[in-house]
Amino acid sequence: MMKKLQILGTGCAKCQKLAAVTEDAAKAICLSYAIEKVTEIDRIVAFGVMSTPALVVDGQIKVAGKVPSFEDMKQLLA
């Protein structure tokens, strides 16, 4: 089943890093996914996060305010 990955962040350096780690990890575990970058502040807030960057998987907040390591990210997406 396809997973919906959303990266929340207004475009800071860490947001780019989170997006990169997420995609790398998703590819490494052969996940079928669709990724979207959410940069509008009102949409970010609607998720209820207070620290960016954040990762939302199928509507569930998985990471907020940090960039996990590649290994941690693989476990998180699995």
Residues 1-60 binding other proteins (CB under 8 A) are: 10, 12, 14, 41-42, 44-52, 60
Which tokens sit at 31?
């996940």
Strand order in 54-57's β-sheet? 33-38, 3-8, 54-57, 60-64
> How many residues of this chain bind other proteins (CB under 8 A)?
28
30 catalytic, yes or no?
A: no
Q: Given the complex with other proteins, which of 35 and 61 has the nearer CB atom?
A: 61
Q: Given the complex with other proteins, which of 25 and 33 has the nearer CB atom?
A: 25
Rounded to whole angstroms, the Cα distance separating 8 from 29 reads: 22
Active site positions, annotated: 12, 15
